[in-house]
């Protein structure tokens, strides 16, 4: 089989309420879906989760010419060709996101060609449902956040995550955390994500103030590449530290292991290099006593890839799931996406089990 075309299709969705974290405020979300076509008539889907201003160019101008003519079922060979055939390497950022998207599309094609879901190609489905946490609660007025959080708990989620770290609003952020904790009660897990906003000292002070509210984990408290900063905090705080969504390639995660920098590691299939890189990162994490909890804040394509990997690797915990309905999940799936009481069903049709509606 040969790759005959690689196309990028962008979709933009306006958000009714902005999604604000410590770094940015989004009033719309754009997704770049990647269609890898073959001479066998099969089309694989990927999701290019990099800088949305660049992704169509990276996919169609840089990566497409390199991918044409390759056998999509030889996934490792495709990956090597895209990643390692130039003198000047791109070892992270949007180019790696583009490579990840094409890698995911190749798994989709291979699954379709063999008539099996991707989880089977990854060693077999060990579970049919993956427990998810509601990843939303972007900072806004505390009562509003409390109301939204309570709704997720009512829907059956056993964990919710907030995105705070609003610039110059440390005290207000603690009010937000307090309001959410009160609304969800003592037994629901509560992840707190500050999206890399602090230096180590500030992160320590804020972390100490969070202890009272019993966070499930404290996510990306400092710069993503500061493994020793994460380790320094971890040694000083009685909180679990989570990080990894901004790292690339299995080698890029090594400083986390050597510094014992985290309790949970969050590789993103669509950023770190694809399904195979993520699988290696998860397996290495487990050898170091770190729990893999894949990052996912993408379209239904990235969600499906994450579901298949988590189904095949039962040691992974907590699917990151966007419950706001803005991530084009339902429209994409052959079978309607099944979300029940905070769990998401692993697709059962061949490949990723997702396709674009005509
Ligand atoms: Mg995060």
Handedness of CA 82, 84, 90, 91 (dihedral sign): positive
DSSP string for 73-86: T-HHHHHHHHHHSS
CA proximity to 136, closest of 166, 164, 175:
164
Which region holds residue 311: left if phi is over 0, alpha if psi is between -120 and 50, else beta?
alpha
Give me the CATH code for the 3-115 domain, please.
3.30.390.10
Residue 336 — very low, low, confident or very high, per pLDDT cuts 50/70/90?
confident
Tell me the three state secondary structure of residue 161. strand
- Residue 305 CA to residue 184 CA, distance in Å, equals 30
The fold adopted by the segment(s) 120-345 is TIM Barrel (3.20.20)
Mean pLDDT (whole number) for 302-323: 97
The pLDDT assigned to 64 comes to 98
pLDDT band at 279 (very low <50, low <70, confident <90, very high): very high
**Centroid of ligand 1 to alpha carbon of 342 (angstroms):** 19
% pLDDT > 90, the chain:
91
Span from the CA of 320 to the centroid of ligand 1 (angstroms): 9
Q: Where are the domains of the chain?
A: 3-115, 120-345
pLDDT-derived band of residue 334, with 50, 70 and 90 as boundaries? confident
Q: What's the CA-to-centroid distance between 65 and ligand 1, angstroms?
A: 33
Label residue 111 exposed, middle or buried (CB < 10 Å: 0-12, 13-18, 19+). Answer: buried
Whether the predicted pLDDT of 235 surpasses 80: yes
Instruction: Report the C-alpha gap between 239 and 245 in whole angstroms.
Output: 19
- Distance (angstroms) between ligand 1 centre and the Cα of 69 equals 37
| 3-state helix vs strand vs coil in the chain, percent to 5 | 40, 20, 35
The answer to whether the CB of 294 falls within 8 A of the CB of 316 is yes
What protein residues have CB closer than 5 angstroms to ion ligand 1?
Answer: 193
- pTM of the prediction? 0.97
Residue 57: its pLDDT value, please? 98
Average pLDDT over residues 57-78: 98
* pLDDT score of 333 more than 80: no
């Amino acid at each position: 089989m040969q790759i005959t075309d690689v196309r990028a299709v962008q979709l933009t969705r306006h958000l009714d309420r902005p999604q604000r974290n410590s770094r940015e405020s989004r009033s719309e979300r754009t997704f770049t879906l990647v269609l890898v076509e073959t001479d066998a008539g099969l089309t694989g889907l990927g999701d290019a989760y990099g800088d949305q201003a660049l992704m169509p160019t990276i996919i169609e101008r840089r990566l497409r010419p390199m991918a044409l003519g390759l056998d999509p079922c030889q996934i490792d060979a495709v990956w090597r060709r895209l990643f390692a055939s130039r003198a000047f390497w791109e070892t992270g950022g949007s180019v790696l996101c583009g490579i990840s998207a094409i890698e995911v599309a190749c798994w989709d094609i291979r699954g379709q060609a063999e008539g099996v879901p991707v989880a089977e190609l990854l060693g077999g489905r060990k579970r049919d449902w993956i427990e998810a946490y509601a990843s939303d609660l972007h900072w806004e007025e505390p009562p509003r956040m409390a109301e939204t959080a309570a709704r997720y708990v009512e829907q059956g989620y056993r964990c919710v995550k907030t995105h705070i770290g609003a610039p110059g609003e440390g005290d207000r952020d603690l009010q937000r955390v307090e309001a959410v904790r009160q609304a969800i009660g003592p037994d629901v897990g509560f992840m707190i994500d500050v999206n890399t906003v602090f230096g180590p000292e500030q992160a320590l002070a804020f972390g100490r103030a969070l202890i009272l509210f019993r966070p499930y984990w404290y996510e990306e408290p400092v710069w993503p590449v500061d493994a020793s900063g994460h380790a320094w905090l971890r040694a000083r705080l009685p909180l679990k530290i989570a990080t990894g969504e901004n790292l690339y390639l299995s080698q890029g995660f090594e400083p986390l292991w050597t510094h014992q920098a985290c309790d949970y590691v969050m590789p993103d299939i669509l950023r770190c290099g694809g399904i195979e890189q993520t699988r290696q990162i998860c397996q290495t994490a487990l050898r170091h006593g770190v729990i893999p909890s894949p990052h996912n804040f993408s379209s239904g394509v990235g969600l499906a890839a994450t579901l298949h990997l988590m189904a095949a690797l039962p040691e992974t915990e907590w699917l990151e799931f966007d419950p706001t309905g803005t991530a084009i999940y339902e429209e994409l799936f052959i079978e309607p996406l099944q979300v029940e009481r905070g769990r998401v069903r692993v697709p059962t049709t061949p490949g990723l089990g997702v396709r674009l509606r005509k």
